Amino acid sequence: MSDHLLSQLAGEAARLAQLGFMACTAGNVSVLLEHQPLVAAMSPSGVDKGQLKPADFIRIGADAKPLPPDTRKPSDEALLHVRIYQATGCQAVCHGHLPHTTALSLAGGQELVSREVEMQKAFAGTTTHEGARHIPIVENSQDMEELARFVIAARQPAVPAVIVRGHGVYAWGNSIREAGRHLETVEWLARILWLCRVGGITQPQAHARQQS
């Protein structure tokens, strides 16, 4: 089962790389292999995420260190992945550097708000475009324990993703494909927000119905 999962994880990383979310060897992905004690498979540090093979993933424990005898270096952000597994009970985590999301995060504020957009339904559990989805933004930090605290504290029940200012997005899900889809969804919604902002368009504040 583990081989199948690692193969799927490599495929999803390649798909996200193809979307431009893993530029400059950035970005990382992981999948939970065992829950108690925690074992996850994590992408390696500093390589092109579009070319990963199952054997490239590194098994890490709850301390985010490689399980002996493996001594390879997982992504620097492995500890943040572990904390997300512990806090959310999810099965997979994807992180990418998303251009529209990153640019909008630099405008300040503690969230991006998408309103009345059908694609909000791509977040698992959202069943209507009506209303708003608030995607939290936290400050960036090179201290992974600190960044993990920011992310855990900021997360919203209806949104399986947190934006890190000037950096990118952490998204999670109940499967590898769902975690990847949630990452893609944040950038899609942020792109619409940016296209609207630059076009002088305000997203609707309330649900307006057409006469039928």
Query: Minimum CB separation from its own copies for residue 79, in Å?
Result: 15
Give the closest residue to 81 by CA, choosing from 111, 50, 110, 59: 59
Residue closer to its own copies (CB basis): 67 or 201: 201
Query: Minimum CB separation from its own copies for residue 11, in Å?
Result: 10
Query: Minimum CB separation from its own copies for residue 160, in Å?
Result: 13
| Residues within the interface to its own copies (CB under 8 A) | 23-26, 48, 97, 99-100, 102-104, 106-107, 116-119, 122, 127-130, 138-142, 146, 149-150, 153, 164-168, 177, 181, 184-185, 188, 191-192, 194-204, 208-210, 212
Residue closer to its own copies (CB basis): 73 or 129: 129
Q: What is the DSSP string of the chain?
A: -HHHHHHHHHHHHHHHHHTTTTGGG--EEEEEEETTTTEEEEPBTTS-TTS--GGG-EEE-TTSSBPTT----B-TTHHHHHHHHHHH--SEEEEE--HHHHHHHTT-SSEEEEES-GGGGGSTT---SSSEEEEEEE---S-HHHHHHHHHHH-BTTB-EEEETTTEEEEEESSHHHHHHHHHHHHHHHHHHHHHHHTT-PPPSS--PPP-
Q: Which amino acid is at 92?
A: A
Residue closer to its own copies (CB basis): 30 or 105: 105
Query: Minimum CB separation from its own copies for residue 24, in Å?
Result: 4
Residue closer to its own copies (CB basis): 49 or 59: 49
Residues 124/199, Cβ–Cβ less than 8 Å: no
Pairing outcome for strands 92-96 and 168-173: antiparallel
Residue closer to its own copies (CB basis): 23 or 39: 23
Residue closer to its own copies (CB basis): 88 or 140: 140
Q: Find tokens 């649900």 and name the residue.
A: 207
Query: Minimum CB separation from its own copies for residue 8, in Å?
Result: 12
Query: Minimum CB separation from its own copies for residue 151, in Å?
Result: 11
